[in-house]
Structure 1
Amino acid sequence: MTALALADYVPDRSLGAKIRRRLTRWKVAKPLPVQPRETYICFTFDDFPKSAADTGAEILDEVGARGGYYACTGMAGTSGTMGELFDERDLAPLVAAGHEICAHTESHVDCARASLNDVLVDIDTNLSHLKEMGHSLPVTQFAWPYGETSASLKPAMTTKFDAVRGILPGANNKGADLMQLSAYELDASDASTARAAAAIEAAAKNPTWLFVFTHDVRQNGSPWGTTPEDLRRLVRLARDTGANLVTPSHAVQEILAKDAA
């Protein structure tokens, strides 16, 4: 399979698909067992473009934040609407700076449309290619391409990853599905920036776990990316609230460890 560009993707908008999506969201595969005692915010990048590895990482580094990079290895070394995509040279510097490399399938497959076996093979290929590209650390985080999954697939992820991120907006509190965590999308619209900012401000009042995700970080970028100015504003806002700006794995570990203590 070859990676499918976001611009070429058409989601299934039929009534049956909408019902399946809702049922999938309601069927929790692995609930978060505790309520976060502090606020954790994970800034993450899907696919991921070189601008996220360069400009995005620089913005996080300015405030000591650490982010997550969901790598679709089938798109590595290519270019398109989101600009140049990452290659093997981007992995080690991100890891050395404290950021996390996460999985995002090999072919950016719509996991709700493919068979369970095909999805699992695609994920394993993604993980194998990350190793071949020189990433030797365990990969414990995953994000659903297009945010699409199924009720039968989510349980299969519980033995492969510590946490899996979706794209539906919301905060992650006790009972949230660790196999389909909520996230705020940051795209080219002012509305998405405003939603993410409001969520960050709300999280300052009640401890929770937030994800903010985007793709490229450029001026005049893709519809799925954001500008350096908007990302910097949100990262600094999150910093100013006193939230923990950490990688997805660090958030999982801290939330569970603080409750056990």
Structure 2
Amino acid sequence: MLSVSFDDIPVSAWTEAGPILAEHGVKATYYVAGGLSGRRNLGLPQFTTEHLQALCAAGHEVGCHTFEHVSTLALSPTDLRASLERNAAWIADRLDGYRMQTFAYPYGDCALAAKKVIDASFTCARGTLDGVNAGRSDRLNLRAIGLESRRLPSYDLEALLAQTRARRGWLIAYGHDVGDRPTPYGCRPLDLNRLITLAKAIDLDILPVAAAWQRMVARDQF
């Protein structure tokens, strides 16, 4: 399986990526930090409530990214729990009671003490360690690849996807902005299109993170 995800949600992650996902009939996971809404991050405008409601209505998964977009290394378990609760309330208020099922660590920072807190609130969590999830994997720090201009040149996507298929594994890709001139943390539209096209060519199922996790559990692979 392949899951496509976007962190923070710069506006272009919806306005540019959304049509590509729709063209392919693919649903993604958008990891939201409510405190970023309507602001700028890394020089880019971030999503608004209207963007969030539109992507949710289109069937994409909404996941948690803390409220303030802060590293779990900088938070005590109590402070992390409070941030998650703020984000849950913020999302539920705007998405008619929506409950987030999965989490992504801001900056990929997975503090050991944070894992117990995350485990109590989410079915699984994604980090930024490279690789395919297959065999024994940590459901509270799932591996992923960066759909980012700074990382993409170092990947052999065809080999990664083939490995995913051969091992009956799960490849998660994460990105941020999408545009012809992306930041180091974003990708071009053709990069997103290429990943999805390659995955489809070898018959990988493309599912949001929560749905993919449920399928892995049903296979008893974790």
Q: Which interval holds the TM-score relative to the shorter structure? A: over 0.9
Alignment of 1:122-137 (within 5 A): 122-137=83-98
The 3 A distance-change label for structure 1 pair 124 and 258 is same
Deviations 1:41-93 (A, max 9, x none): 10000001111112212212222211100001111111343522111111222
- Amino acid of the structure 2 residue aligned with 1:83: L
The 3 A distance-change label for structure 1 pair 140 and 242 is same
Which stretch has the larger CA shift, 80-89 or 204-213? 80-89
Deviations 1:206-252 (A, max 9, x none): 21011000000011121100010111111111111111100111101
* 1:117 alignment partner, one of 55, 60, 78: 78
Write the distance in 1 (CA, Å) between the matches of 2:36 and 2:2. 27
Contact residue 146 and residue 152 of structure 2 kept, 8 A: no
Contact residue 52 and residue 215 of structure 1 kept, 8 A: yes
Shift of the alpha carbon at 1:118?
1.0
Residue 172 of structure 1 is matched in structure 2 by 133
Residue 172 of structure 2 is matched in structure 1 by 211
Computed over aligned residues only, the root mean square deviation of the Cα atoms, in angstroms, reads 1.8
Shift of the alpha carbon at 1:190?
6.5
The 3 A distance-change label for structure 1 pair 255 and 190 is closer
Contact residue 53 and residue 94 of structure 2 kept, 8 A: no
- Amino acid of the structure 2 residue aligned with 1:218: G
Residue 217 of structure 2 is matched in structure 1 by 256
Matching of residue 158 in structure 1 with residue 136 in structure 2: no
* 2:183 alignment partner, one of 210, 222, 227: 222
Residue 8 of structure 1 is matched in structure 2 by none
Q: Which has the larger radius of gyration?
A: 1
Shift of the alpha carbon at 1:147?
0.7
Q: SS at 1:102's partner residue?
A: strand
Alignment of 1:8-157 (within 5 A): 40-81=1-42, 83-157=44-118
- Amino acid of the structure 2 residue aligned with 1:223: P
The 3 A distance-change label for structure 1 pair 190 and 131 is closer
Contact residue 57 and residue 67 of structure 1 kept, 8 A: no
Shift of the alpha carbon at 1:192?
4.3
- Amino acid of the structure 1 residue aligned with 2:166: K
Structure 2 gaps of 5+ residues are: none
Write the distance in 1 (CA, Å) between the matches of 2:36 and 2:49. 12
Contact residue 119 and residue 140 of structure 2 kept, 8 A: yes
Shift of the alpha carbon at 1:195?
4.0
Q: SS at 2:133's partner residue?
A: coil
- Amino acid of the structure 1 residue aligned with 2:48: D
TM-score (norm 1): 0.79
Q: SS at 1:158's partner residue?
A: helix
Contact residue 88 and residue 133 of structure 1 kept, 8 A: yes
Shift of the alpha carbon at 1:259?
4.2
Aligned residues: 221
Write the distance in 1 (CA, Å) between the matches of 2:96 and 2:103. 15
Deviations 1:108-131 (A, max 9, x none): 111112211111111111111112
The 3 A distance-change label for structure 1 pair 192 and 47 is farther
Write the distance in 2 (CA, Å) between the matches of 1:186 and 1:243. 17
Q: SS at 1:138's partner residue?
A: coil
Write the distance in 2 (CA, Å) between the matches of 1:49 and 1:41. 22
TM-score (norm 2): 0.92
Q: Percent identity?
A: 29
Shift of the alpha carbon at 1:135?
4.7
Contact residue 88 and residue 99 of structure 2 kept, 8 A: no
Q: SS at 2:215's partner residue?
A: helix
